[in-house]
Each structure stands twice: as structure tokens, then as C-alpha cells.
Amino acid sequence: MKKVGIVMGSDSDLPIIRKATDMLKSLDIPFEVHIYSAHRTPEEARQFALSARENGFGAIIAAAGMAAHLAGAIAANTTLPVIGIPCSSSNLDGLDALLSTVQMPTGIPVATVAVNGGGNAALLAAQIIAVEDKELAAKLDAKRASDAAKVLEKDKNVMEKL
Ligand code: RP5
């Protein structure tokens, strides 16, 4: 199976990344995590992106806050799908990172999830890898069904709480 590459701009982004790694672990998807910054270590971020396809990655998640250029900088150096997570690490609460991540120019796409959306970033990466992996696709279908069952269980019990 292809691996998911996860890059974060700083170790202060770890709580958001943990949501992604927990999700990938629950689906038995292999992943590799790095701290590379578009600004502080641009060359390492670039080399990671340039070699990602030959290193067995199928999708890359890039998480950064503030002037969040990491996902775009990674996407500029690979044609693998790149998923950006804007992190709310500043006093602008992630709006800065959201706009920096989502507003990519035509030609260099980044699939941007919600602010701090580590879980959905992992699920989107899983769905990309599942295009060529029927076993993983079946796991994703089963997860959707189980998530829906949990909501319906709560629906049954909600009146008792009120
Ligand atoms: C970004 O700046 C990082 O992704 C992080 O979200 C934010 C703050 O980084 P630190 O100053 O906490 O290292 O590059």
C-alpha cells in the first residue's frame, strides 16, 4: 500500500497531526511524519516533496499555521495529491492559515480541509489511496456505516436527556 506523508511546520502543530495519525492507524495505513517548515527549513521541505513519489507516498498532508505556505510549497514540488491543514496557532485563530492554504493559484492545487481538520485530512488521504485499493475502500465504507449507526443510537436516546 502507498504511504501517507505528513509534514508539519512546527512541533507546536503536533496535537492537530495526532488526530490524523490516530485516524490512519485505525485504518492500518502506513505513514511517515516530518517537521519541515516552508520558511525555516525550505530546502528540506522541497527535497521531501521532490522525492515523495519515488519514496512510495500516495498522498501528502501538510499542516501549518500563521502565514501557512507549507502545503503550497510542497505542492509546488510534486504532482502527488497534497492536503493542507490550516492550523489555528496564531491570535487570528486560523483564518490567516486558512486563507494562505486555500488560495492557491491555478496549476498548483492544494485540497484544503477545515482549520485544525486533522481527522478529515487523514480520511481524504485514505480515500485517495483507496481509489486503487479495494480492501481499504471496504474499510472506509464500513467506517461510514458505523459512524452513521452511532448518530442514530444518539438519536434514539436524545429525548431521555431532555
Ligand atoms: C507555522 O508557524 C507552524 O506550522 C506553526 O503552526 C506556527 C508557529 O510555529 P512555532 O513558532 O510554534 O514553532 O510555521
Residue ID of nearest Cα to ligand 1 atom 1? 65
pLDDT, tens digit (0-9, with 9 covering 90-100), for 87-144: 998 899 999 999 999 999 999 999 999 999 999 999 999 999 999 999 999 999 999 9
Q: Kindly report the pTM of this predicted structure.
A: 0.96
- Give the per-residue pLDDT at 110: 98
What would the mean pLDDT of 58-84 be, rounded to a whole number? 98
Structural domain span for residue 98: 3-161
For residues 41-54, give the mean pLDDT.
98
Q: Which three cell numbers stand for residue 60?
A: 501528502
Residue 80's pLDDT is what? 98
The residue whose CA has the least distance to atom 6 of ligand 1 is 65
Percent of the chain residues topping a pLDDT of 70: 100
Phi, psi of 62 (to 5 degrees): -125, 120
Q: Which atom of ligand 1 is nearest to the CA of 87?
A: 6
- For a ligand 1 pocket test, name from 12, 17, 87 the mutation site with the most ligand atoms within 8 angstroms of its C-beta: 12
Structure confidence at residue 7 (pLDDT): 98
Share of the chain above pLDDT 90, in %: 99
Residues with CB under 6 A from ligand 1: 9-10, 12-13, 37, 64-66, 87, 89
CATH of the domain at 155: 3.40.50.1970
SS3 85: strand
Q: How many CB atoms lie within 10 A of CB 6?
A: 27
What are 128-136's contacts with CB under 8 Å, separation 24+?
128/58, 128/59, 128/81, 129/1, 129/2, 129/4, 129/29, 129/58, 129/59, 133/1, 136/1, 136/27, 136/29
Mean pLDDT of 76-80: 98
Q: How many domains does the chain have?
A: 1
